[in-house]
Amino acid sequence: MSQQDHPPTLEQIEIVRWAASLGAITAEALALRADTTNASARARLTVAQRRGLLSRDCPLAGHPALFTLTRAGLRACDARGIQACRVSPSNANHLTVCAVVAAALERCYPHHRLVGERELRRDEREHGHPLASAQLGALYGGESRLHRPDLVLWPNEPHGGLPVAVEVELTIKAPRRLVEICRAWARCRTVAGVLYLAPADVERALSRAVAEARACEEVIVVPLSALPGVGVDAGGGSARGRA
């Protein structure tokens, strides 16, 4: 009997569900999340890949492999309405860092539920209104544009308050664009606040945009390296190192 003939374990379903929410995960991120070694996490992902639940891509040399949801994985974890992620050289580094950040945040805030942008997009589509997204200027015809965060921390407790939006900013956007987004977050009433995580050079540009948008009370900018388990070279692996 092949591996595909056996039903997935609860652990495999949880891993696949996590990949569905974030879009892509790495062995380094899973090791941080599960408090295990990179080698052990990589073995778990490889088993899920061989079972057809995950697909493996490595578009950037020297960077961790990214594992994404397959159709079989979608069925296994019942991730209805979530579209599979396409990995490319242009988005691979951001996906890698987001996965490590997500794992670190889950460890830092165990009483919160963390979801990725893809899961948030699905939930907002089903509810028919923004749940944790900022409304930018209106498009032609009057419909508002939405800016969705990379990650969202939802309180687990009933009536636990509004969620916290998390942005992983790795490159410097145009100043006007940054100010527009920060102003939108300052107006947003669906989140308790916004946490920006960025490397030092991007952090300075973000801080200027937050000040210009007068969003200092709503938006906090924190060095990416300050998050436990996330090293300065987060794009090439977490502080745990690569096995």
pTM value > 0.95: no
Long-range contacts of 234-239 (CB under 8 A, 24+ apart): 234/96, 234/97, 234/100, 234/101, 235/63, 235/93, 235/96, 235/97, 235/170, 236/62, 236/63, 236/64, 237/26, 237/28, 237/38, 237/64, 238/28, 238/29, 238/31, 238/32, 238/100, 238/103, 238/104
- Asked if 143 and 135 touch (Cβ cutoff 8 Å), the reply is no
Q: Is the pLDDT of residue 128 over 80?
A: yes
Residue type, 243: A
- DSSP code at position 222: E
> For residues 154 and 119, what is the distance between their CA atoms, to the nearest angstrom?
12
Domains and CATH numbers, the chain: 3-236 (1.10.10.10)
Confidence tier at 5 by pLDDT (50, 70, 90): low
Structure tokens at 92: 């691979």
Apex CA 191: angle with CA 190 and CA 194, to 5°? 145
Write down the residue that tokens 């050079």 correspond to: 201
Mean pLDDT of 148-166: 90
Residue type, 57: D
Mean pLDDT value across the chain: 89
- Asked if 77 and 18 touch (Cβ cutoff 8 Å), the reply is no
pLDDT at 234: 56
